[in-house]
């Protein structure tokens, strides 16, 4: 079966990234470094002929995708298709909060004081469930709500693109880590956050998702 390739890029650095604040559905613009991140990954992907490009419906993902497409030497795409299906996890009450504090409040009742401890002691899906429990409004997405949305995004990619297509997808760090955690067969170190401007390569084959590599930010062209 012909595989569809998804070049999954984390957006460039934002001000909330710089200040280490929770940024799910909240949005902040790219910093100067973030623009540089986007331009660099655009150069590494410049020789890949994308059949379609997508991004989450956030300004940071949109700006990154546009800069990548602008740098591309072989594609005719100018604008990405925006979709809420690949939006970052919703952190509810914790949106915009200092990240270490938010994860301490989320994990302390489970003997885990950091995000890395939560996912090491439990799982990435458990971190979502714990955050919804800790949210006084219970607005944060739990793992079921999150995957109901994300899996619709993969259905969209399969439905709207022919087998064998090459797709650019600009999304978010926890989303990248969640997808690799679900489909990566425990081959990757998920205690390390994917870096801004990094690339994770996914292969869609029928209903399956395979992870070829994760969190690549090396210099030179990517395949």
| pLDDT tens, position by position, 177-203 | 999 999 999 999 998 899 999 999 999
pLDDT at 1: 67
pLDDT at 102: 98
161 is in an annotated binding site: no
Three-state secondary structure string covering the chain: CCCEEEEEEECCCEHHHHCCECCCCCCCCECHHHHHHHHHHHHHCCCCCCCEEEEECCHHHHHHHHHHHHHCCCCCCCCCEEEHHHCCCCCHHHCCCEHHHHHHHHHHHHCCCCHHHHHHHCCHHHHHHHHHHHCCCCCCCCHHHHHHHHHHHHHHHHHHCCCCCEEEEEECHHHHHHHHHHHCCCCCCCCCCCCCCCEEEEEEECCEEEEEEEEECCCCCCC
C-alpha dihedral sign at 16, 171, 13, 173 = positive
Domains annotated on the chain, with CATH: 4-94+142-216 (3.40.50.1240)
Catalytic residue among 32, 79, 82, 88: 88
**Average pLDDT over all residues of the chain:** 97
With 90 as the cut, is the pLDDT of residue 218 above it? no
188 is in an annotated binding site: no
CB atoms within 10 A of CB 148: 11
Say whether 88 is catalytic.
yes
pLDDT at 39: 98
12 is in an annotated binding site: yes
59 is in an annotated binding site: no
Q: What is the pTM of this model?
A: 0.96
| pLDDT tens, position by position, 60-91 | 999 999 999 999 999 999 999 999 999 999 99
Percentage of the chain with pLDDT > 90? 95
């Amino acid at each position: 079966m012909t595989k569809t390739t998804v070049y999954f890029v984390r957006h460039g650095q934002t001000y909330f990234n710089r200040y280490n604040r929770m940024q799910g559905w909240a949005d902040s613009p790219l910093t100067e470094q973030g623009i540089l991140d986007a331009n660099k990954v655009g150069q590494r992907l410049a020789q890949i002929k994308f059949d379609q490009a997508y991004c989450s419906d956030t300004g940071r993902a949109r700006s990154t995708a546009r800069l990548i497409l602008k740098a591309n030497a072989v594609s005719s795409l100018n604008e990405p298709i925006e979709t809420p299906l690949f939006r970052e996890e919703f952190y509810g009450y914790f949106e915009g909060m200092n990240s270490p504090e938010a994860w301490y409040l989320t994990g302390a009742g489970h003997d885990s004081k950091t995000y890395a401890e939560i996912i090491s002691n439990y799982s990435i899906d458990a971190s979502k469930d714990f955050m919804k429990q800790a949210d006084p409004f219970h607005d944060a997405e739990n793992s079921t709500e999150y995957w109901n949305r994300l899996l619709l995004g993969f259905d969209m990619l399969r439905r709207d693109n022919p087998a064998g297509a090459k797709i650019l997808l600009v999304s978010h760090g926890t989303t990248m880590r969640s997808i690799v955690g679900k489909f990566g067969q425990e081959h990757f170190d998920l205690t390390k956050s994917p870096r801004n401007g990094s690339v994770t390569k996914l292969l869609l084959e029928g209903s399956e998702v395979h992870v070829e590599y994760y969190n690549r930010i090396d210099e030179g062209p990517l395949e």
